Structure 1
Amino acid sequence: MSTLFGDARLADGRRRDVRTDSGTIVAVADVVDPDPADRVVDADGRLLLPGAIDAHVHFREPGDAHKETWMTGSRSAAAGGVTTVVDQPNTTPPTVTGEAFDRKAELATASYVDYGISGGVTGEWDPDSLFDRPLFALGEVFLADSTGGMGINTDRFAAAVDRAAAAGVTVTVHAEDATRFDETARDHDAGGAGRDADAAYWSQYRPAEAEAAAVERAVEIGAAAGATIHIAHTSTPEGVDAAAAGGATCEATPHHLFLSHRDATELGTYGRMNPPLRSEPRREALWDRLVEGTIDIVATDHAPHTAEEKATDLWDAPSGVPGVETMLPLLLERARRGEISYERVRDVTAANVASVFDLPTKGRIETGNDADLVLANPERSREIRGGDLHSNCGWTPFEGMSGVFPSLTMVGGTVVYEDGEFVGDAVGENVRD
């Protein structure tokens, strides 16, 4: 079906007509004459953006469908203006073999948005079969075992980086050095605060120094192999600066950009994630690096757990928070307030992601690109409530904050979400096929 968006405002402020046909943007001009077969959407000066690309999600299938499925996660993405997601490998079983990749790829056909599937590195990985598949990246590869061990295992990491470099595959690194973790942080909970313990203690346990040291080591190993290194979820200005100095790209998450220790007491165990929340001055410095351009992209590390699973002792609660539906709305709200430009929001959620991960037909509203589009009214902001979102987990760390949500989301020329309703069936495709 062909669609004409009339009088849309692009991120750079220009007013344009944008026409799509057969899944592709076919015209971007001052005035585009409609075809009789077009569905005409009167944008009336509303903001038209390229669909966001979230390069870091955990949709939990296979293994933990009670937390999230490809259908619920992708619907949540579409409702938040995300039209492409990249799923990370720490599912059950982990995506470390060709067989595990094929199993996940079959489940991913339920996705309402386009997707990539990252492979991982563990003691069980089979690079020969894994690299035979349409792999997006080696995703969230630790300097140890990607099932969770965090000590620096340079031999395994270096071997994985070598294979990725030979295959031309980007390596997305979870950079924390467990040898620098502070075990004395556990003493703060000696009184049995349990689920009410301040999440800032988790930050003391996994300090900022652990991130910067691991980033430096990762980029050093990557440079020796000639590999492309991308640092996942940098939570500190020191980590961002170390990535930039080493020639790596990096991402920041909404929870590290919008939350800090000042939110930790209220969040309690719901504020536990890896890497942890940081101090307010570090959060502010991270935001400054986003605005000024040192941070390449924003990605959510969408890692849903049920409220019941999070409501336990701080030291036993699973790490991770949902975020795929609220990333773009939170950033658009800050642009509405004048704290960041709409062009910068477009770049860190779409254009830069497409460049970093080699998606040449995504991320920009240009003739010939995929018709992945998001329409939103910047003047219509609303309060974020977990009960209004679409993830299986049913809660959000951004409860009560404001966001600008899309009124329409299009994936490959097909409208999948409009005016609060999902439209049609799943249309997502693997971007590496």
Structure 2
Amino acid sequence: MLITHARLADGRDVDVRIDGESIAAVEPAGSLSADGDERELDADGRLLLPGAIDAHVHFREPGYSHKETWETGSKSAAAGGVTTVVDQPNTSPPTVDGDAFDEKVELAKKSLVDYGISGGVTESWDPDSLFERPLFALGEVFLADSTGDMGIDADLFSDAVARAADAGVTVSVHAEDAELFDESARDRDAGGDGRDADAGLWSAFRTAGAEAAAVERALEVGAESAASIHIAHTSTPEGVDAASEAGATCEVTPHHLLLSRENLDELGTYGRMNPPLRSEERREAIYERVADGTVDIVATDHAPHTREEKETDLWNAPSGVPGVETMLPLLLNEAREGRLTYERVRDLTAANPACIFDLPQKGRVDAGRDADLVLVDTGKSRAIRGDDLHGNCEWTPFEDFAGVFPDVTLRRGDVVYDPAGETGAISGVFGDADGANVRT
């Protein structure tokens, strides 16, 4: 394929030639012409981005396929311009030994997009067999329970970080200190059963201080073993600053970037996640750090649950929200409105995660890299609707937010999403490319 007259995030107008799975050439617009059977797509000045890398998803297989599957999750990813995902270990069985890893890889072969598989840590984990596999990372390592009840104690965390350091594997940390949760929040539930509780009590329960303390502890343990530490879904400016000052990396989710406790009256239990939404003041401080480069990446913590599961009382509703399909569209709309630059969106979603997690073939529109590409018309946005999304749960915390969605998504040169059919490559919206493990 030859893509002509595309605009890159840095403002250059280019032609891009694709040969097989790779980008063969990137030249000034108008300098390349189609050869032989080469299909030509005139971008007509639309923005061409490297495919996004979502370094934090929960595609729920095995064990919870009613929430999401590799097929539905990867369709949602492709429709949102995400061409690589990294799945986390809290499935059933959890990905804590070689056999569980192999089982997940077999399921992941249904993916339309590329994927990485992270191993996890529990009391019964088998690091010897786990580290024999091509792990993407050790993570999400939980310092407090969330979905899957995989929280571990301080001694096991230290041992796991040391083992990962020896194996040269990055440790992605869910940083919350359960000992600093505010149990008095439950006492402020007037009914006592969570049915009529203010949704903000979940944020009051899992305190900002609990995250900040856990980030500090994770960084200390990482330093002791010279481990590579990545702080997942950082929800506080204190956590971001601590990671930055220690030379570690961190991610922020779209929901912590764009939502706060002020949205909980409308969201109710649909807005329960771990870590929880914070104050509007903290959200604004997080946004500043995303915009100025202090935050390394945006990743979704895509954690779908069904409406039936969410529509229960506050204390028993599962934590998590979907997000893989809306991350890039939301950030592109922020850039469209002038609050971020398109270069910053590229770095947050593609260039930086490729660098941090050692994916040299991904993250940039450069010759020799994988042809993971997203073509978008930045002049067009549309309202996000849960019913229009392609995941299993069919809802979103960003209902009615504006998003700039892809016109075409390519993964290693294959068209995996093409709603208008303008490439002539497929019949229908989605392609049939098989995703590949980026660590094999």
Where do 1:228-307 residues align within 5 Å? 228-307=228-307
Corresponding pairs, count = 430
Residue of structure 2 in register with 1:27 after alignment = 25
Residue of structure 1 in register with 2:87 after alignment = 87
Residue of structure 2 in register with 1:428 after alignment = 435
Query: Match of 2:314, as an amino acid?
Result: L
- Which moves more between the two structures, 186-195 or 299-308? 186-195
Is the 2:186–2:192 contact (alpha carbons within 8 Å) kept by the matching residues of 1? no
Query: Match of 2:368, as an amino acid?
Result: G
Is the 1:24–1:370 contact (alpha carbons within 8 Å) kept by the matching residues of 2? yes
Residue of structure 1 in register with 2:425 after alignment = none
Per the alignment, in what secondary structure is the counterpart of residue 190 of structure 1? coil
Residue of structure 2 in register with 1:114 after alignment = 114
Residues 66-115 of structure 1, C-alpha deviation per residue, up to 9 Å, x if partnerless? 00000000000000000000000000000001000010000000000000
Distance of 1:231 and 1:382 partners within structure 2 = 32
Residues 293-331 of structure 1, C-alpha deviation per residue, up to 9 Å, x if partnerless? 000000000000000100000000000000000000000
Distance of 1:427 and 1:347 partners within structure 2 = 26
Residue of structure 2 in register with 1:148 after alignment = 149
Unaligned runs of 5+ in 1: none
Structure 1 residues 34 and 172 mapped into 2: Cα distance closer, same or farther (>3 Å)?
A: same
Residue of structure 2 in register with 1:173 after alignment = 173
| Deviation of the 1:150 alpha carbon | 4.4
Residue of structure 2 in register with 1:396 after alignment = 396
Residues 333-368 of structure 1, C-alpha deviation per residue, up to 9 Å, x if partnerless? 000000000000000000000001000010000000
Query: Match of 1:52, as an amino acid?
Result: A
Query: Match of 2:110, as an amino acid?
Result: A
Structure 1 residues 203 and 145 mapped into 2: Cα distance closer, same or farther (>3 Å)?
A: closer
TM-score (norm 2): 0.96
Residue of structure 2 in register with 1:184 after alignment = 184
Q: Alignment RMSD, CA only?
A: 1.3
Query: Match of 1:300, as an amino acid?
Result: T
1:332 aligns with 2:332: yes
Per the alignment, in what secondary structure is the counterpart of residue 217 of structure 1? helix
Residue of structure 1 in register with 2:157 after alignment = 157
Is the 1:122–1:145 contact (alpha carbons within 8 Å) kept by the matching residues of 2? no
Distance of 2:123 and 2:151 partners within structure 1 = 14
Per the alignment, in what secondary structure is the counterpart of residue 250 of structure 1? strand
Distance of 2:438 and 2:184 partners within structure 1 = 45
Segments ≥4 residues shifted beyond 6 Å: none
| Deviation of the 1:155 alpha carbon | 1.1
Is the 1:196–1:268 contact (alpha carbons within 8 Å) kept by the matching residues of 2? no
Is the 2:122–2:150 contact (alpha carbons within 8 Å) kept by the matching residues of 1? no
Is the 1:186–1:201 contact (alpha carbons within 8 Å) kept by the matching residues of 2? yes
- Which moves more between the two structures, 181-190 or 250-259? 181-190
Is the 1:195–1:311 contact (alpha carbons within 8 Å) kept by the matching residues of 2? no
| Deviation of the 1:33 alpha carbon | 2.3
Distance of 2:332 and 2:366 partners within structure 1 = 21
Residues 170-209 of structure 1, C-alpha deviation per residue, up to 9 Å, x if partnerless? 0000000011100111122232684553321111001110
| Deviation of the 1:149 alpha carbon | 5.4
| Deviation of the 1:148 alpha carbon | 2.6
Is the 1:195–1:269 contact (alpha carbons within 8 Å) kept by the matching residues of 2? no
1:387 aligns with 2:387: yes
Is the 1:144–1:156 contact (alpha carbons within 8 Å) kept by the matching residues of 2? no
Distance of 2:139 and 2:196 partners within structure 1 = 33
Residue of structure 1 in register with 2:308 after alignment = 308
Query: Match of 1:18, as an amino acid?
Result: V
Identity of aligned residues (%): 70
Distance of 1:108 and 1:331 partners within structure 2 = 27
Is the 1:46–1:377 contact (alpha carbons within 8 Å) kept by the matching residues of 2? yes
Query: Match of 2:137, as an amino acid?
Result: A
Distance of 2:374 and 2:96 partners within structure 1 = 34
Distance of 1:149 and 1:69 partners within structure 2 = 21
Distance of 1:256 and 1:46 partners within structure 2 = 29
Structure 1 residues 257 and 196 mapped into 2: Cα distance closer, same or farther (>3 Å)?
A: farther
Query: Match of 2:319, as an amino acid?
Result: S
Per the alignment, in what secondary structure is the counterpart of residue 265 of structure 2? helix
Residue of structure 1 in register with 2:424 after alignment = none
Distance of 2:347 and 2:195 partners within structure 1 = 38
| Deviation of the 1:402 alpha carbon | 0.3
Unaligned runs of 5+ in 2: 421-427
Query: Match of 1:279, as an amino acid?
Result: S
Query: Match of 1:57, as an amino acid?
Result: V
Per the alignment, in what secondary structure is the counterpart of residue 45 of structure 1? coil
| Deviation of the 1:144 alpha carbon | 6.2
Distance of 1:381 and 1:400 partners within structure 2 = 11
